Amino acid sequence: MLLIGALYFRATWSLRDFDRGLPTLMELETHRRSFSDDYEKYWTNPEEADAHFKSLVLNYFIEGATVNTENNDKRGSYLRSLANYVTAALFLSVLSFLPFYVHQQEQVNNGPKTATATTSADALRKR
């Protein structure tokens, strides 16, 4: 059970490799400049280049938020499974000590009676 829990933890940890974010500011600035430089070729006014750049950044936000939300939902599911398996493993480990505890209590309860019986028998023989 602990091994299965560890596998769920590993799956949770490895999801961070698939998270998405915005490109660096340098990459965004490069895109903005290329839109600004090329606006004359493809658009009639510079505002269209800015609109396309804003839509590009918005798409990055939408895509990143969608992927990260899905990954966070998976993380929550994996962590819930991890907690369930670790709890079950702890519960079973406590249950596994119950027979040893009962056996020890029987030895404690039966142990002194045999010891006193032997000593009283030895005392009778010595007389």
| Token pair of 115 as six digits | 């010891």
Nearest of 76, 77, 80 to residue 88 by alpha carbon? 80
pLDDT band at 124 (very low <50, low <70, confident <90, very high): low
pTM > 0.85: no
Specify the residue for token string 């990260």. Answer: 68
Structural domain count, the chain: 1
Contact status, residue 52 vs residue 32, Cβ threshold 8 Å: no
Give residue 38's domain range.
2-126
Which residues neighbour 56 within 8 Å (Cβ) at sequence distance 6 or greater? 31
Looking at residue 63, what is its pLDDT?
A: 93
* Of 68, 110, 88, 99, the residue nearest 5 (C-alpha): 88
Instruction: Provide the residue count of the chain.
Output: 127
Tell me the range of 58-62, 101-105, 115-119 where mean pLDDT is highest: 58-62
